[in-house]
Structures are given as C-alpha cells and as structure tokens.
C-alpha cells in the first residue's frame, strides 16, 4: 500500500459508473479511501498524489483490467464461450506475465509487465493532470495489449496441448484399469540408464521387457507412448511400482506418476558401494 504525500494531484475520469466502482473497490482493498464524483456523464477521482496512485493504477490494470481484456478477446476473436476454458487459458497468460512459464514467454517475448504498464501510465500523467481512463487503455497501453494478444496465442496452444495430454493420460488409465497384472511388483531405475527389476530385484533383460509389450498400445498412440518405459509398464500392469530416480521433475517421470498414481512410489536411487 502506498501512502499519499504532498505532491501534484490528478483527476482520473471514467465514463462508466461500474468501472468507477470497480476502481474505488480496488483502492479500498489496498487501504486507499478515494471517493469519486459524478460530473455530467463522467465519474471523476480527484487523487491527491500522482506518484502514489500511478502505481495503484498500474496494479489495477494488471490485476483487474487485464483479465477483462483477455476474456473479451477470447470471446470475440477466438470464439471461446466456456467460462472454465477461458479461466484456464487466462491463468496460463497470468503465469507467463509473472515469469512462471519461461518456456512459453520465450516463444512470445519476455516483458516486465509492471514496468511496461507503469511507464505507459506515467507518460500520460506527466503530460496532463486530467486523464480519461479509456484513452489510457486504448492508446497508451496499445503495446501492452499487443503483448497480451501474443501471449494469448501461445496460451491457447498450450491449453490445447494440455487438454490433449490429459485425454491421453485418461485413456491410459482406462487401459490400465482393465489390464490383468502380469507382475505383482516392478522396480524401475531411471538414472543415467533405464533398468527394470522384478519383485526379487533381479534385473530384467531388455528382450524380456520388450516381449511383454502389448502391441496394441503402440498402435493406439505411437507418437506419445514411450516404448522403452511407458509401454512395458502398462503391459505388465503391476500392482506396485517402485521408481528410483533423481529426476522427479523430468517429463517422463511426471507422466508415469500421472498414469499410475497410487501404484507408484518414488525413491532416490540406491547409492552404489565402492
């Protein structure tokens, strides 16, 4: 929360009462009690300290108006109507803006969101003590909007991939549920190399593992089903899998956990004695 001090003030003019109430509520949430006055067909906030409220306006745009803008674009440009789908896509954009999805921002260009928005707000407030909020959003924040739309394109692609991945996981869970276990327990090492062990901790030969694979699995999804690990495990359908790996965040390991759920236990690799 900023503390207003002596300094040049400013007027923020909004044309929509609902938006004025929205901004007032945001101010209150951050400990700033600023009423607005109705003047003809406009709603005016007379703010005492430009510097302090510049930050608040930037946060308001990021935390409130960004979501509204993305909803509007999703609906009008991409024809998304399902609220849950929209929220999930917008959440991906939010994660990109906050730096949590670096692999995605690398595709669309990294930004310092707060700096970009605050500079746009500041440049307008420096040129005038009376600002129409619509002109700020429409003109000064055009670059920001263009960035959000780029992020949205990437987020939609990512959302579709995540949905496809989840359908793939669900399909394999159904396969596993109907499969009769060939092995009661399997130990699996994923480290510098991949090795299967039976319940007695005897290493399984590669040919033995390959021979157990249900060929229907590779026919269903040859691109997605890993023939070295996922296909053999699904084919064996063990009641318990003990996975030894230092790579819990590896995509293959995360996929195994998603498929086998409570059947799988992850442990660190056993240290070799010299």
Write the pLDDT tens digit of every residue in 208-234: 999 999 988 877 665 567 889 999 999
| 189 vs 252: CA distance, rounded Å | 13
Write the pLDDT tens digit of every residue in 78-98: 999 999 999 999 999 999 999
The whole-number pLDDT of residue 49 equals: 74
Q: Do the bridges between strand 264-267 and strand 240-244 make them parallel or antiparallel, or are there none, so unpaired?
A: parallel
Are 196 and 209 a contacting pair, CB within 8 Å?
yes
Query: Element (H or E) spanning 10, and its range?
Result: strand 10-14
The whole-number pLDDT of residue 31 equals: 86
- Predicted confidence band at 274 (pLDDT cuts at 50, 70, 90)? very low
Give the predicted TM-score (pTM) of the model.
0.81
| 98 vs 91: CA distance, rounded Å | 11
Q: Strands across the sheet with 264-267, in order?
A: 194-197, 185-190, 240-244, 264-267
CA distances for 149 relative to 19, 66, 143, angstroms: 22, 11, 10
- pLDDT at 156 > cutoff 70: yes
The whole-number pLDDT of residue 54 equals: 86
Phi, psi of 15 (to 5 degrees): -95, -10
Are 98 and 176 a contacting pair, CB within 8 Å?
no
């Amino acid at each position: 929360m900023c503390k207003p001090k002596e300094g040049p003030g400013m007027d923020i003019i909004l044309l929509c009462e609902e938006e004025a109430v929205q901004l007032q509520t945001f101010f209150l949430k951050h400990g700033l009690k600023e009423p607005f006055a109705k003047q003809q067909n406009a709603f005016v906030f007379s703010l005492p300290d430009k510097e302090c409220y510049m930050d608040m306006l930037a946060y308001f745009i990021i935390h409130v108006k960004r979501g509204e803008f993305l909803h509007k674009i999703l609906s009008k440009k991409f024809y998304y109507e399902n609220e849950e789908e929209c929220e999930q896509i917008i959440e991906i954009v939010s994660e990109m803006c906050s730096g949590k999805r670096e692999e995605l921002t690398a595709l669309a260009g990294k930004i310092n969101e707060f700096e970009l928005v605050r500079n746009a707000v500041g440049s307008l407030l420096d040129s005038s003590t009376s600002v129409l909020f619509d002109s700020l959003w429409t003109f000064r924040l055009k670059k920001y909007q263009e960035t959000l739309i780029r992020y949205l394109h990437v987020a939609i692609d990512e959302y579709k991939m995540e949905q496809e991945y989840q359908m793939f996981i669900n399909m394999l869970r159904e396969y596993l549920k109907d499969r009769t276990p060939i092995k009661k327990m399997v130990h699996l090492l994923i480290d510098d190399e991949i090795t299967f062990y039976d319940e007695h901790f005897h290493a399984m030969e590669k040919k033995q593992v390959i021979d157990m694979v249900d060929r229907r699995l590779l026919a269903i999804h040859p691109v997605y089903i890993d023939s070295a690990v996922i296909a053999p495990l699904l084919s064996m359908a063990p009641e318990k899998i003990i996975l030894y790996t230092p790579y819990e965040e590896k995509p293959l390991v995360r996929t195994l956990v998603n498929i086998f759920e409570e059947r799988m236990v992850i442990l660190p690799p056993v240290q070799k004695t010299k």
